[in-house]
Structure 1
Amino acid sequence: MPGSVDGLGLLAIIRNRWPPIALVVTSGQIEPAVEDLPAGARFLAKPYLQRQLGQHLHALTR
């Protein structure tokens, strides 16, 4: 991401402003540690299958 905020920083901002929003983090370069993700966020490594994304979204919206 361009600018001073990286993806994990953006997630923290979203979690603080809108706590109920479900978050799925994707990356093809890094795999963040669980403790680096906001509470309730899920990580999905790229490349991923549509089925995998669907599983994460389903788990987050139950």
Structure 2
Amino acid sequence: MTRPPAVVLVVEDETLILLDTVDCIEHLGHVAVPAIDARRALELLKRRTDITHLFTDVNLRCDIDGIELAAAVQAHWPHISILITSGHMLPATARLASDIPFLPKPYTAEQIQAWLE
């Protein structure tokens, strides 16, 4: 039996990276829902019940960063699988739940696929 495609909310404030990641996820056979910041991501989560995964950058041009977004998703939508990415090392003060994986940039399609499986 084939699993249904994942519906991945992609949160990235760099437009080219956002478009590239969306394209990668769709090429892998999944559905990508883009959001340019955490506020838009939260709005989408409130409206859509089909989102199964959150793929978010840490540094977002918004008053809510990716770590805070991940915490909000864990609190309100615990069924959503989360992956956090960044082109920088996570600060030692980042309070990332132990069950949330971190994927450094640049990442590959194979790494995204492994997370979605």
TM-score, length-normalised on structure 2? 0.43
Distance 2:115 2:97 in 1: 15
**How far 1:2 sits from its partner (Å)?**
2.2
Matched, 1:2 2:61: yes
User: Residue 3 of structure 2 aligns with which residue?
Assistant: none
Distance 2:91 2:109 in 1: 21
Question: How many equivalent pairs are there?
Answer: 57
SS at match of 2:81: coil
**Could you say which structure has the higher helix fraction?**
1
Kindly report the root-mean-square deviation, in angstroms, between the aligned alpha carbons of the 2 structures: 1.9
Q: Which runs of 4+ in 1 moved over 6 A?
A: none
Which whole-Å deviations, capped at 9, do the CAs of 1:3-52 have from their partners, x for residues lacking one? 3211101110111010110001111112366x822352111110011101
- Whose RCO is larger (CA < 8 A, sep 6+)? 1
Counterpart Cα distance in 2 of 1:39 and 1:13: 15
Runs of 5+ unmatched residues, structure 2: 1-59
- 5+ unaligned residues in a row in structure 1: which ranges? none
| More strand, by proportion | 2
Percent of aligned positions that are identical: 35
